[in-house]
Homo-oligomer: A and B are copies of this chain.
Amino acid sequence: MLSKSQINSLKSLQHKKFRREQGFFLVEGSKSIVEFNNSPYEIDTVYYTTAFDSKVLNLSHKINSCEISVNDLEKVSSLKTPQDVIAKIKIPEWAALSEKDLVGQFSLVLDGVQDPGNLGTIIRIADWFGIRHIICSQDTVDAYNPKVVQASMGSLARVKVYDTDLTNFLQKFKLPVFGALLDGANIYHTDFGHEGLLILGNEGNGIRREVEALVSHAVTIPRIGKAESLNVGIATALFCSEITRNTKK
């Protein structure tokens, strides 16, 4: 049984402001919680209903667990159809990225991606392609937003997401900077080499000028048909695929 203030406190974690104040976020559903449990993330408390078999999670005894009513779980959940378990997890503070974290591999850089479903999808794609770091502009949607966590389908447990000032960040490292831009080189004729940063921009406006100025290789996905644009998640997947194709041959 949760007190009214406990419910309000958990519910408030749907908002970035309160996540930052409290230092926690919520993960819903046992499948995703298992992924966070097998990761560097620190689970604080697991809340579950009687319907849930807590052995499924195989949690350490150090983690608090708390049976709650279906009614309380519905109040706390951000889902229309809540699952029977929710975990409160500590927001990690990753050490600042250094050159050695980035060399010999590709990392994604997101400039102003707004839609939480898109960011979640991009995290899942990064995880599929073995990309370990995503660096976001400060106006990109928060990675701990419940819709991002949901859409990432557990991949957030494995891909580290940073937010930072992109113009400072991009000037710090001597790596090729690929930017998904109009009128760039054809993605299918680009040699991505074996390391670099790949920037994808905002859904409507693309990469902002200050950031574009730091792109060393403008790259474009050629359009064969007539659709006006590709979704940023789809574009990310096509870039990751071409990079993989390049580096694994």
| The one of B124, B225, B242 that contacts A231, using a Cβ cutoff of 8 Å | B124
Some 7 contacts from A to B, beta carbons below 8 A apart, are A121-B231, A153-B227, A154-B227, A155-B226, A158-B227, A230-B237, A238-B238
A: number of interface residues (CB 8 Å):
35
Chain B: CB-nearest residue to A127: B227
Interface residues of A in 120-136 (CB under 8 A from B): 121, 124-131
Which residues on the B side are within 8 Å of A129 (C-beta)? 224-225
Instruction: Report the bound CA distance from A235 to B144 in whole Å.
Output: 25
Which residues on the B side are within 8 Å of A127 (C-beta)? 225-227
Interface residues of A in 26-55 (CB under 8 A from B): none
Interface residues of A in 198-241 (CB under 8 A from B): 221-231, 233-234, 237-238, 241
A149-164 interface code vs B (CB 8 A; 1 in, 0 out):
0000111001000000
Chain B: CB-nearest residue to A237: B234
Which residues on the B side are within 8 Å of A225 (C-beta)? 126-131, 158
Which residues on the B side are within 8 Å of A153 (C-beta)? 227-229
Contact A224 B130 (CB under 8 A): yes
Instruction: Report the bound CA distance from A199 to B234 in whole Å.
Output: 19
Contact B241 A224 (CB under 8 A): no
Chain B: CB-nearest residue to A121: B231
Instruction: Report the bound CA distance from A60 to B45 in whole Å.
Output: 62
User: Would you call A245 an interface residue if the criterion is a C-beta within 8 Å of the partner chain's C-beta atoms?
Assistant: yes
Whether A128 touches B158, Cβ cut-off 8 Å, given contacts A121-B234, A188-B245, A238-B238, is no
Instruction: Report the bound CA distance from A222 to B153 in whole Å.
Output: 19
User: Would you call A244 an interface residue if the criterion is a C-beta within 8 Å of the partner chain's C-beta atoms?
Assistant: yes
Tell me the minimal C-beta distance from A177 to chain B in angstroms: 22
Tell me the minimal C-beta distance from A127 to chain B in angstroms: 4
Contact B188 A234 (CB under 8 A): no
Instruction: Report the bound CA distance from A221 to B158 in whole Å.
Output: 20
Instruction: Report the bound CA distance from A155 to B234 in whole Å.
Output: 15
Give the most central of A158, A224, A225, A228: most B CB within 10 Å.
A225
A-B pairs, top 8 by smallest CB distance, nearest first, are: A130-B225, A130-B224, A127-B227, A128-B227, A234-B237, A127-B225, A155-B227, A188-B245
Contact A227 B188 (CB under 8 A): no
Which residues on the B side are within 8 Å of A154 (C-beta)? 227-228
